């Protein structure tokens, strides 16, 4: 029976470790400050931002939410970010994705000061990631590394396969695993014999955005499976297949008409050594690492690093 890797427990441990560092900041200087820019009225983005702001409030991190309209231009977004760059009490700046199609996302991200880039998406910070130098790391991949560390899952010398090549998860995940001395294969939708590549993995990270794509025969017995996918399914035939061994989730689906699933088929992962469930696995780690990045940036800016 595969061991369940509980992201909520890891999140709690991360936040617990932040507590004395936050107390030192508040005592010797000031609370860290995080500004979040949410454009328009995207429902999913609004939920993510609300959770981030709530986490700040619970920890005592100063937070601001800026809400320009969906008609905002690239120039207006760059002006907003430039204003935040100039404010000394703001340590971290986060622009919630996705941005409207008329906005040049890359231009906006490049406007964020690298020292305030709490998501680690600025080209200079991506360079520090490639060269394995200190700097903010993208939150989801760094959260996964924390999960592996805190569950004492060895990475060095193991074969890791990352399924998905996004700038937010796939590419930085591959680099972090490589820096931890894994042998890494980065796969994507055009990889030939994708199932064969996945079967070679000691550590399989699925982040391709297709519900239940990774079936049981793609997973080597004893592998560690990290499911990054967050997909909402509303077809009952899919739900009956995904939750065929879980009557409670079937009942919850029938009640709500939809359910969240990952990129790994949830009923076919039992022969793995360990896996992250969806929901409750990787999801809680992202905001925890956002808080950790904000604290670390504030420490550097205020000269309070250990």
Q: Known catalytic residues?
A: 52, 96, 119
Count CB neighbours of 259 within 10 A: 23
297 neighbors 139 (Cβ within 8 angstroms): no
Nearest to 295, CA basis, from 7, 21, 17: 21
52 neighbors 290 (Cβ within 8 angstroms): yes
Residues 6+ apart with CB under 8 A from 126: 120, 167, 172
Q: Indicate the burial class of 75 (C-beta count within 10 angstroms; 0-12, 13-18, 19 or more).
A: exposed
**Integer Cα distance of 128 and 115 in angstroms:** 12
Q: Which alpha helices (DSSP H) does the chain contain, by range?
A: 7-28, 43-59, 74-85, 105-111, 123-130, 139-150, 170-179, 194-199, 236-242, 247-256, 283-301
DSSP 106-160: HHHHHHS-GGGBTTS-SHHHHHHHHTT-SS---HHHHHHHHHHHHTT---TT-EE
């Amino acid at each position: 029976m595969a061991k369940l890797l509980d992201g909520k427990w890891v999140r709690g441990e991360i936040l617990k470790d932040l507590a004395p560092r936050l107390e030192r900041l508040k005592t010797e200087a000031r609370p860290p400050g995080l500004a979040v820019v949410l454009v328009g009225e995207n429902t999913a983005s609004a939920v993510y931002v609300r959770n981030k702001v709530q986490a700040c409030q619970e920890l005592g991190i100063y937070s601001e939410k800026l809400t320009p309209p969906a008609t905002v231009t690239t120039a207006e977004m760059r002006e907003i970010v430039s204003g935040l760059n100039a404010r000394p009490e703001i340590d971290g700046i986060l622009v919630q994705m996705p941005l409207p199609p008329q906005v040049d996302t890359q231009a906006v991200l490049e406007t964020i000061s690298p020292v305030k880039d709490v998501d680690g998406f600025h080209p200079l910070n991506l360079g520090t990631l490639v060269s394995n130098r200190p700097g903010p790391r993208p939150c989801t991949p760094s959260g996964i590394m924390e999960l592996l560390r805190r569950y004492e899952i060895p990475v060095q010398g193991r074969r890791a396969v990352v399924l998905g090549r996004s700038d937010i998860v796939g590419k930085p995940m591959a680099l972090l695993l490589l820096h931890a001395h894994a042998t890494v294969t980065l796969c994507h939708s055009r990889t030939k014999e994708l199932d064969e590549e996945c079967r070679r993995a000691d550590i399989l990270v699925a982040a391709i955005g297709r519900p239940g794509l990774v079936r049981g025969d793609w997973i080597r017995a004893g592998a560690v499976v990290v499911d990054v996918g967050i997909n909402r399914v509303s077809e009952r035939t899919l739900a009956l297949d995904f939750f065929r061994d879980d009557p409670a989730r079937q009942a919850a689906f029938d009640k709500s008409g939809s359910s969240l699933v990952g990129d790994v088929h949830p009923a076919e992962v039992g022969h793995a050594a360990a896996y992250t469930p969806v929901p409750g696995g990787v999801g809680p780690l992202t905001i925890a690492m956002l808080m950790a990045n904000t604290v670390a940036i504030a420490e550097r800016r205020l000269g309070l690093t250990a």
